[in-house]
Amino acid sequence: DIQMTQSPSSLSASVGDRVTITCRASQGISNSLAWYQQKPGKAPKLLLYAASRLESGVPSRFSGSGSGTDYTLTISSLQPEDFATYYCQQYYTTPLTFGGGTKVEIK
Amino acid sequence: QLQLQESGPGLVKPSETLSLTCTVSGGSISSSNYYWGWIRQPPGKGLEWIGTIYYSGSTYYNPSLKSRVTLSVDTSKNQFSLKVSSVTAADTAVYYCARLGAVAAAALWYWGQGTLVTVSS
């Protein structure tokens, strides 16, 4: 199985801050990476796929980058509605695997 | 707009079988080229992929659960289903159904709202 390691596991930030979350795969995944946002009591929502492609309707302050084993989700200017938990997921191969999550909290 | 809705018992006894159904609306399981899957999330924890099915019946399972999991599809009802046998407290989780992309290993584009299943006597 491909292990996905996310860091940090949590962070505190203020509205307007630039936030970066990292996801590292245990082997190369050729940009087969998705990012999700999950709010309490809700299902995850797809934000980006293919490492850097924004899902329709997702604000442009969200961006993704990376290659090989290392990937990054960046929120350029944190908004109140962005406080949530974020997960990465590799789909290079089955079993599909997720990172452990990053909880973004209000500072 | 595609919608998915999980249904099934919220309480299952240990050693019994957990059964859930996902009803798809706003699109046909059999007329599309998409894969369909199940994911679970224990309370306060992360996400775990359970398995994926195609409308033809082809299945892909997480090896960690494969011996206890069965996925099936009913195209006449536009539904797909999950069974997990011999459940224990460790199977207590919110169970989500989802639509994947056009291959078995894909991102999860649409999700149901999730249903909490508690394993307890």
pLDDT tens digits along B46-83:
999 999 999 999 999 999 999 999 999 999 999 999 99
Q: Which chain B residues have a beta carbon less than 8 Å from that of A37?
A: none
Q: Is the pLDDT of residue B32 over 80?
A: no
Residue A56's pLDDT is: 96
Residue B13's pLDDT is: 98
Between CA A103 and CA A84 the distance in angstroms is 6
pLDDT band at B31 (very low <50, low <70, confident <90, very high): confident
Tokens encoding B6 = 């999980």
Q: Give every residue of chain A whose pLDDT is below 70, as ranges.
A: none
pLDDT band at B30 (very low <50, low <70, confident <90, very high): confident
Hey, which bits of B1-121 come out as E strands? Answer: 3-7, 11-12, 18-25, 36-41, 48-53, 59-61, 69-74, 79-84, 93-100, 108-111, 115-119
Residue B111's pLDDT is: 98
Between CA B32 and CA B40 the distance in angstroms is 24
B-contacting residues in A 30-69 (Cβ below 8 Å): 32, 34, 36, 42-46, 49, 55
Between chains, do A89 and B107 touch, taking CB under 8 Å as contact? yes
Between chains, do A42 and B108 touch, taking CB under 8 Å as contact? no
Between CA B4 and CA A35 the distance in angstroms is 20
Residue B39's pLDDT is: 98
Q: Is the pLDDT of residue B104 over 90?
A: no
Between CA A75 and CA A20 the distance in angstroms is 7
A93 — contact with chain B (CB < 8 Å)?
yes
Q: How far is A43 from chain B (nearest CA, A)?
A: 5
Tokens encoding A68 = 């090989």
Residue A69's pLDDT is: 98
Mean per-residue pLDDT over chain B, rounded:
96
